[in-house]
Amino acid sequence: MFNNLRIDGRYLETTINEDGTQSEDLVEKPVVGAGLLFAAVVEGDMSLDISDGFFLFVPADQGEIKLPDADELDKDFEEVKYNLPSEIKAVLSRSDTATGGSVHLGAETIWISSPGGEDLPYIKLENN
């Protein structure tokens, strides 16, 4: 058995209708990133119990950067928009093979609001 971790996100998608009005929809899709699952391994036992384990998810933020088209940019103010999900949930599953195979849902969390905008700290990494 192989344990899998997926983080799903609800992304706010804004579209401009033919009459010029805006409409907003929540679009569900997996969040791009890497998941690390930590659990104790009992010596001599080939099975793995993840009930007391924990996971870390590292989003691939570079994959989520959404740049506006050049003709949509304001010439006085160029802005990079980060397309972060409005809500997230974790989905844990098991599969028969490392590449998927038969997938069985193990557990999933409820949808929670994800921080964004000014809630996120500004971090700048430098190499001296």
The pTM for the full model equals: 0.66
108 CB-side CA count, 13 A:
13
Q: Which domain holds residue 108?
A: 2-32+60-116
The answer to whether residue 69 is domain-embedded is yes
Q: How many domains does the chain have?
A: 1
Per-residue pLDDT tens for 75-113?
A: 444 444 556 788 999 998 888 877 767 888 888 999 998
Q: Look at residue 52 and tell me if it is in a domain.
A: no
Q: Structure tokens of 111?
A: 């949808």
97 lies in a domain? yes
